[in-house]
Every structure is written in C-alpha cells, then in structure tokens.
Amino acid sequence: MVNYQKQLALLYFKTSGNEYDLLELMQLLGLRQNQLDLILSELKKDGFICISNYEITITEKGILHLAANNVSSNADDGIQYPLKNIVSENLMPLNEPYVPKKFLTKI
C-alpha cells in the first residue's frame, strides 16, 4: 500500500509540475501530515524527488521509475486532438443562453 501511495505521489508531482499543493496531495491520498512527510522523505532518500529552494520536483529517476512500473495518466500523453468537426463561424458567445430548436413546441 505504501509503495502504491509513493507512486501516486510521484505521478502527482509529474502531472502538476510546479503547480502542486501539498494539502491537495494529502487529501487525495487520504494521509495525515506526518504520513505525507514520511513518504516525501522516503522519495527524497530514494532519489525520486528533489527539493531545492523549498520546491519539490520529480527527478529523471522518478520518471523512469513510473515508466518501469507502468504508471501513467491521461495527462502524460499531451495529445492534441484536431477540432475538424467544429465550425468556428457557428460558435455562439458564452454570455447567450442556448435554446434548442423547437424548444417551445409541445410533443
């Protein structure tokens, strides 16, 4: 279970980059502060994260560890899907409500 939590913490740091929030990580993993501190110190001791200038970053070793254990997320892919079916000329402004066709007619 602890190894799973370590991998989730690594994945969190990988996907969030420098926009991480330790309180959010603590709530996502369901941990207390001292448990999170223990996991972070073990990750640092193993060389999976680096703490410099009070900022936590995942190291290359941590990224390779995630890849070796087949841990990934949809955010890793970074796939940009083409929007070929959306016609930009027909887009409605966001401040106008959408009213479906035949909205006022009875069935």
In a domain, 104, yes or no: no
In a domain, 84, yes or no: no
In a domain, 101, yes or no: no
Amino acid at 65: H
pLDDT in tens, 25-81: 999 999 999 999 999 999 999 999 999 888 999 999 999 998 888 887 665 555 555
In a domain, 105, yes or no: no
- Beta strand pairing status for 55-58 and 49-52? antiparallel
Residue 8: CB atoms within 10 Å: 15
The number of domains in the chain is 1
Domain around 44: 2-77
In a domain, 96, yes or no: no
Q: What's the pLDDT band for 10 if we cut at 50, 70, 90? A: very high
In a domain, 98, yes or no: no
CA distance 40 to 104: 59
pLDDT in tens, 56-71: 999 999 999 988 888 8
- 3-state secondary structure at position 8: helix
